[in-house]
């Protein structure tokens, strides 16, 4: 491909970062992959970072590396506390360096932000003072002076091990309300010794941590700082707290990495990995204000999804580098595609948070619902040509069928995709109609491009039956026929009151009136989205969820952002609620724990969001098909786009 970096003159210009020279300004910032085992680097982690290095990123920062035993905030944290860690980090550095990319390790201590221990018991959390963490309901103990000194020394010893392993530098994590930020905060740090009280004393921990790293490493080793430019907390560190800290240590740093948010409260934590409800690059304004005041190269992160956005931020002087981590989880080759001018080929992140941070919060290796190859590089990282090309029918043009057809064709099969509707996309086309979720439609755009690049023949408005299969005579069939709304099994309805499905609301097929109950069994985007949509139109909405809270099935940042909007709109949320029945004016619910009745009167419309059941008619009809017959996605069992796309990938690999 031609060299077209002139389309992005700033993004693909080199940058001196202390002792390092970066070839471009795109950074894979520190993010937990959940791929560490026993605190050490694994082959899966190496394969993951190598894919991004090969894809053309300018700099990679590892996930958080615990500097002390008290830093084990999850049971899959990466640790740098002893010599046994060096060998794994050396292998990681060698793999990333083989692609010409520098590697920086992130030095980490969570302080009070502890979530779990290795054995499931509650861990001991330490902070500068006894200051509760609202989000995790942790009340830490105040750090003894001896422990402060021990942890400060461990910053230096961990950095020395990483330098020994061949890494190019370290980044001290003072972001998101973690330990160095806790020392900076006058609300959290109420110590009366040399590490508390005055601003100078509160900055002492950070200064001494940096000094310990500098003392333990050589002059060719880069040192950076990650800090929240605004913690988004009423009593947190805003620019008034972050800027003085940066200015006090900038002479000892090679760069500063700016983020927003804090782990300490639900609302502030949303900004750690902001979902699609936030504008692209929304953190640039606070970063620009700090950049004007400091003499360091500034890296900014916050929903920067596309190279055009990164180029604009750098050109405007808001930052010198852009963290584009989720963009490269979704498309590891994004930098090289941008450099070559292949912008239409970039698979854009839609910030759904489902398989990236969502997997991490569940303790699973991170991935992407659009690109399940991410995090599975050892299995699917290198496309393997088919041993024998086959004629493949893929039936169903939702995300699962689209992925199956694209991968099958890319492997050399003659794949044809059949879709009964006029457009591809399946339920994703409805999902994008929910409030603040228009970007979800990007999965259809991205998969359509994959179909085009792979050379898949697409036949829309074509319903497949046994006769069509006989006429096509395929060697293999992949069924992705989807699902339909689930019919309630035990639901008393006298037929007098209006009852509609959620999909009818999205298609504008119902006049709901002014008083609505949304019965939400799935506890996902749909019920919450329908409730928000109707509340925005002025309806009095009661959201009755069959769960302990609304959005129970969602990644927490997505859920909490939704809940905040529902509260502002006055939506009433009824939890532990099982749908029982409906008559002309009332909806009857049952408490799922004690069985008591919950009666809601004066209801114009009941909206059902009760889940879906597989469409299996064609699979049943083709049970005797002599070739390979595979089913993927909702026609196996109704779930989400993530499972459909992953199963489409797996099916295409088996052919």
Question: Of 349, 376, 403, which residue sits at a domain end?
Answer: 376
Same domain, 203 and 241: yes
pLDDT above 50 for 282: yes
Residue 329 domain-assigned (yes or no): yes
Same domain, 10 and 128: yes
* pLDDT score, position 550: 98
d(CA 241, CA 89): 34
Residue 634 domain-assigned (yes or no): no
Task: Supply φ then ψ for residue 459, to 5 degrees.
Answer: -120, 105
Residue 623 domain-assigned (yes or no): no
Q: Which of 330, 357, 360, 361 is nearest to 346 (CA)?
A: 330
Task: Supply φ then ψ for residue 638, to 5 degrees.
Answer: -65, 120
- How far does CA 237 lie from the centroid of its chain? 25
Contact predicate 72/61, CB 8 Å: no
The conformation of residue 122, written as its DSSP 8-state character, comes to: P
Question: Of 355, 376, 397, which residue sits at a domain end?
Answer: 376
Residue 594 exposed, middle or buried by CB count within 10 Å (0-12, 13-18, 19+): exposed
Rg of the Cα trace of the chain? 26
Same domain, 606 and 566: yes
d(CA 162, CA 87): 10
Residue 568 domain-assigned (yes or no): yes
Same domain, 186 and 333: yes
pLDDT digits over 377-405, tens only? Answer: 999 999 999 999 999 999 999 999 999 99
Instruction: Extract the tokens encoding 250.
Output: 């900038």
Average pLDDT over residues 584-602: 97
Mean pLDDT over all residues of the chain? 96
pLDDT digits over 188-233, tens only? Answer: 999 999 999 999 999 999 999 999 999 999 999 999 999 999 999 8
d(CA 650, CA 214): 48
Q: Which of 552, 647, 643 is nearest to 592 (CA)?
A: 552
* pLDDT score, position 3: 46
Cα–Cα separations (whole angstroms), residue 60 to 63, 67, 106: 10, 19, 10
Contact predicate 550/559, CB 8 Å: yes
* pLDDT score, position 2: 41
Could you tell me what percent of the chain has a pLDDT over 90? 94
pLDDT digits over 4-33, tens only? Answer: 556 899 999 999 999 999 999 999 999 999
Same domain, 339 and 472: no
User: What CATH code is carried by the domain that includes residue 580?
Assistant: 3.50.50.60
Residue 99 exposed, middle or buried by CB count within 10 Å (0-12, 13-18, 19+): middle
- Say how many domains are in the chain: 3
pLDDT digits over 115-128, tens only? Answer: 887 788 888 999 99
DSSP result, 338-366 = HHTT-GGG--------TTTHHHHHHTS--
Same domain, 356 and 476: no
Residue 418 domain-assigned (yes or no): yes
Sequence-distant (6+) residues with CB within 8 A of 319 are 258, 284, 287, 288, 291, 298, 299, 300, 313
DSSP result, 195-257 = TSSSHHHHTHHHHHHHHHHHHHS-TTSEEEEEEEEE---TTS--HHHHHHHHHHHGGG-SEEE
Q: Are strands 20-22 and 15-17 parallel, antiparallel or unpaired?
A: antiparallel
CA angle, residues 507, 511, 512, in degrees to nearest 5 = 105
pLDDT digits over 510-546, tens only? Answer: 999 999 999 999 999 999 999 999 999 999 999 999 9
The conformation of residue 20, written as its DSSP 8-state character, comes to: E
- How far does CA 529 lie from the centroid of its chain? 19
Sequence-distant (6+) residues with CB within 8 A of 198 are none
* pLDDT score, position 5: 57
Residue 619 domain-assigned (yes or no): no
d(CA 345, CA 337): 7
DSSP result, 42-60 = -HHHHHHHHHHHHTT-SEE
Same domain, 121 and 151: yes
Same domain, 372 and 406: no
Residue 511 domain-assigned (yes or no): yes
Residue 16 domain-assigned (yes or no): yes
Q: Which of 316, 245, 244, 324 is nearest to 285 (CA)?
A: 316
Same domain, 393 and 345: no
Same domain, 21 and 82: yes
d(CA 302, CA 321): 12
User: What CATH code is carried by the domain that includes residue 190?
Assistant: 3.20.20.70
Domain enclosing residue 497, as ranges: 492-610
d(CA 410, CA 78): 36
Sequence-distant (6+) residues with CB within 8 A of 161 are 80, 83, 85, 86, 89
Alpha helices in 343-492 (DSSP H): 357-362, 377-380, 399-410, 428-431, 442-454, 466-472
Same domain, 95 and 11: yes
Question: Of 329, 348, 376, which residue sits at a domain end?
Answer: 376
Residue 259 exposed, middle or buried by CB count within 10 Å (0-12, 13-18, 19+): buried
Catalytic residues: 178
Instruction: Extract the tokens encoding 265.
Output: 């409260």
d(CA 432, CA 558): 15
Same domain, 325 and 355: yes
Residue 572: its H or E element: strand 572-574
User: What CATH code is carried by the domain that includes residue 458?
Assistant: 3.40.50.720
d(CA 504, CA 492): 21
pLDDT digits over 134-145, tens only? Answer: 999 999 999 999
């Amino acid at each position: 491909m031609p060299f077209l970096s002139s389309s992005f003159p700033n993004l693909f210009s080199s940058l001196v970062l202390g002792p390092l020279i970066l070839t471009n300004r795109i950074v894979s910032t520190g993010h937990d992959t959940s791929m560490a085992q026993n605190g050490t680097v694994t082959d899966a982690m190496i394969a993951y970072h190598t894919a991004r290095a090969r894809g053309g990123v300018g700099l990679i920062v590892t996930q958080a590396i615990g500097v002390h035993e008290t830093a084990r905030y999850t049971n899959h944290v990466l640790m740098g506390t002893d010599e046994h860690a060096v060998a794994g980090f050396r292998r990681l550095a060698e793999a990333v360096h083989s692609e010409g990319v520098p590697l920086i390790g992130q030095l980490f201590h969570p302080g009070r932000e502890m979530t779990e221990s290795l054995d499931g018991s509650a861990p001991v959390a330490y902070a500068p003072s006894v200051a509760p963490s609202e989000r995790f309901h942790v009340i830490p103990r105040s750090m003894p002076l001896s422990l402060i000194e021990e942890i400060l020394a461990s910053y230096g010893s961990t950095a020395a091990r990483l330098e020994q392993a061949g890494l190019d530098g370290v980044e001290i994590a003072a972001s998101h309300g973690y330990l160095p930020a806790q020392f900076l905060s006058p609300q959290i740090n109420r110590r009366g010794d040399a590490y508390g009280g005055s601003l100078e004393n509160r900055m002492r921990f950070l200064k001494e941590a940096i000094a310990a790293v500098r003392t333990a490493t050589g002059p060719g080793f880069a040192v950076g700082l990650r800090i929240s430019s605004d913690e988004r907390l009423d009593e947190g560190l805003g620019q008034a707290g972050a800027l003085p800290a940066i200015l006090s240590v900038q002479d000892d740093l090679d760069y500063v990495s700016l983020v927003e948010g804090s782990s300490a409260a639900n609302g502030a934590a949303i900004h750690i990995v902001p979902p699609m409800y936030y504008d692209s690059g929304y953190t640039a304004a606070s970063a620009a204000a700090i950049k004007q005041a400091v003499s360091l190269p500034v890296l900014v992160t916050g929903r920067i999804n596309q190279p055009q956005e990164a180029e604009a931020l750098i050109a405007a002087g808001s930052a010198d580098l852009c963290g584009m981590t989720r963009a490269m989880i979704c498309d590891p080759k994004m930098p090289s595609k941008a450099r070559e001018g292949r912008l239409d080929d970039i698979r854009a992140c839609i910030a759904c948070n489902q398989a990236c941070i969502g997997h991490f919060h569940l303790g699973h290796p991170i991935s992407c619902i659009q690109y399940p190859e991410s995090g599975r590089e050892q299995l699917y990282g290198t496309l393997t040509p088919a041993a024998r090309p086959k004629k493949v029918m893929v039936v169903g043009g939702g995300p699962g069928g689209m992925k199956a057809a694209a991968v099958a064709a890319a492997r050399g099969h003659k794949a044809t995709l059949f879709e009964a509707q006029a457009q591809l996309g399946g339920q994703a086309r409805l999902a994008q109609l929910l409030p603040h979720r228009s970007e979800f439609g990007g999965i259809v755009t991205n998969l359509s491009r994959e179909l085009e690049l792979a050379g898949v023949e697409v036949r829309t408005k074509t319903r497949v039956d046994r006769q069509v299969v006989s006429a096509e005579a395929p060697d293999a069939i992949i069924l992705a026929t989807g699902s339909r709304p689930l019919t309630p099994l035990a639901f008393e309805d006298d037929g007098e009151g209006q009852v509609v499905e959620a999909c009818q609301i999205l298609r504008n097929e119902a006049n709901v009136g002014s008083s609505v109950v949304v019965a939400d069994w799935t506890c996902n985007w749909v019920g919450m989205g329908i409730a928000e949509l109707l509340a925005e139109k002025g309806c009095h909405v009661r959201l009755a969820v069959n769960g302990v809270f609304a959005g129970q099935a969602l990644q927490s940042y997505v859920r909490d952002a939704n809940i905040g909007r529902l509260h502002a709109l006055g939506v009433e949320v009824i939890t532990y609620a099982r749908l029982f029945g409906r008559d002309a004016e009332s909806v009857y619910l049952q408490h799922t724990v004690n069985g008591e009745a919950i009666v809601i009167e004066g209801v114009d419309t009941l909206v059902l969001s009760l889940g879906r059941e597989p469409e299996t008619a064609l699979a049943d009809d083709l049970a005797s098909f002599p070739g390979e017959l595979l089913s993927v996605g909702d026609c196996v069992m109704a779930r989400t786009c993530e499972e459909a796309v992953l199963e489409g990938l797996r099916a295409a690999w088996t052919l």
